[in-house]
């Protein structure tokens, strides 16, 4: 097992897929000569040249559209957004074209394209740079949404995404690019899309969390263990398709569930998981499902307010105490 940063694991996945399949290419703002805004694409220009590592103008709708057209014509583009906060400018291409072409054209063509880049908050960057879009894109048929929390997941899932024959959004927490973790050195390492993972076993409560919220959940679980509460943490890794079977089986064991979601509360991942658990495992619940989300407020710039706005370990512990009727 090699220890890699999150950015290095993503780079390795792209590098291996570009070497394996000459139809794969990378395009986006500063991905070539600057090696990527977060250095994710460092070295790829030197290795593959300007025809396969392409700098674009700051024109999200334009270059996303070029990517969709290329995918429809047999190539396999990876489109990097400097942040998904401004990928909303390309939402027409993602939602109305990449996701629907196969359905609207009766399966005559597909769009094997990956849209990837940083998602959600990254500290004091203000309200326009701090939105989690994974739940929003998961609402649309025809799109898969992946939100890994560790380097190993990032590498295996991105390789699967690049090989997928339909559009995939690959979300990367901006605060995790420097995160280190062990990554499988298995040749051609692949993790299938739609398979979650139990990352910490426990019997007292199930905590569902993905992206950087997974790491907050780990902090909470460590603290809870000191008080004799063993939390089972499930990282779905893929928001859509969601591995609800894994979550339900865990809830049948622990009888309680907390969902930690960096989205706002209305209509997010936490709401969907809560609904599915009551539908599939209602008779096993000893307490209502609780969710820990952002408040229904835009991100503040002030650090004290930002720290209060973002979910933390204490909020998760409070939620666990509520569903276990401990305090």
**pLDDT > 90? residue 270:** yes
Q: What is the pLDDT of residue 206?
A: 98
DSSP string, 182-224: EE---TT----TT--EEEE--SSEEEEE-THHHHHHHHHHHHH
Tell me the per-residue pLDDT of 58-68, one tens digit each, with 9 for 90 and over.
999 999 999 99
CA neighbor of 210 nearest in space, from 251, 164, 173 = 173
User: Distance between CA 222 and CA 299 in Å, rounded?
Assistant: 28
Place of tokens 């990876």: 78
Predicted local confidence at residue 316, as pLDDT:
98
Q: Taking residues 238-242, report their average pLDDT.
A: 98
Flag whether pLDDT at 188 surpasses 90.
yes
The domain over range 2-183 is classified in CATH as 1.10.1060.10? no
Tens of pLDDT along 5-39?
999 999 999 999 999 999 999 999 999 999 999 99
Mean pLDDT in residue range 124-150: 95
Closest to 309 (Cα-Cα) out of 319, 322, 324, 299: 299
Three-state DSSP state, 22: coil
Q: How do the domains of the chain map onto residue ranges?
A: 2-183, 197-324
CA proximity to 178, closest of 11, 38, 37, 32:
38
Fold matches, 2-183 and 197-324: yes
Confidence of residue 263 (pLDDT cuts 50, 70, 90): very high
pLDDT of res. 279 = 97
Q: What is the pTM of this model?
A: 0.96
Rounded Cα–Cα distance for residues 4 and 178 (Å): 9
Q: What mean pLDDT is predicted for residues 222-231? A: 97
- pLDDT value at residue 211: 96
State the catalytic residues.
60, 129
pLDDT of amino acid 266:
95
CATH 3.40.47.10 fits 197-324, yes or no: no
Average pLDDT on 270-282 reads 97
Question: What is the rounded average pLDDT of the residues 239-262?
Answer: 98
Stretch 84-92: mean pLDDT: 95
Residue 326 pLDDT? 84
User: How many Å apart are CA 83 and CA 87, to the nearest integer?
Assistant: 7
> Is the pLDDT score of 327 beyond 80?
no
């Amino acid at each position: 097992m090699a220890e890699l940063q999150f950015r290095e694991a993503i780079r390795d996945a792209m590098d291996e897929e570009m070497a394996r399949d000459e139809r794969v290419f990378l395009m986006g703002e500063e991905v070539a000569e600057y090696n990527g805004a977060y250095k994710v694409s460092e070295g790829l220009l030197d290795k593959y040249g300007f025809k396969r590592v392409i700098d674009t103008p700051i024109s999200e709708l334009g270059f996303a559209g070029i990517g969709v057209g290329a995918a429809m014509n047999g190539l396999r583009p990876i489109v990097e957004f400097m942040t998904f906060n401004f990928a909303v400018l390309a939402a027409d291409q993602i939602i109305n074209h990449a996701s629907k072409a196969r359905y609207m054209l009766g399966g005559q063509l597909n769009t094997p394209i990956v849209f990837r880049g940083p998602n959600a908050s990254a500290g004091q960057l203000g309200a326009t740079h701090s939105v989690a879009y994974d739940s929003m894109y998961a609402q649309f048929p025809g799109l898969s949404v992946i939100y890994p929390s560790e380097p190993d997941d990032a590498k295996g899932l991105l390789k699967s995404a690049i090989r997928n024959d339909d559009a995939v959004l690959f979300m990367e927490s901006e605060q995790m690019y420097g995160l280190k973790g062990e990554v499988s050195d298995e040749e051609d390492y692949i993790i299938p899309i739609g398979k979650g993972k139990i990352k910490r076993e426990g019997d007292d409560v199930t905590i569902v969390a993905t992206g950087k919220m997974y790491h907050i959940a780990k902090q909470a679980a460590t603290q809870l263990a000191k008080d004799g509460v063993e939390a089972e943490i499930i990282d779905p890794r893929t928001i859509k398709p969601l591995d609800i079977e894994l979550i339900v089986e865990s809830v049948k064991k622990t009888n309680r569930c907390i969902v930690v979601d960096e989205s706002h509360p209305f209509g997010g991942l936490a709401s969907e998981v809560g609904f599915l658990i009551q539908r599939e495992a209602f008779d096993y619940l000893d307490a209502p499902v609780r969710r820990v989300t952002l408040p229904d407020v835009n991100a503040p710039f002030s650090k004290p307010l930002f720290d209060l706005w973002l979910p933390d370990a204490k909020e998760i512990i409070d939620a666990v105490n509520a569903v276990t009727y401990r305090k």
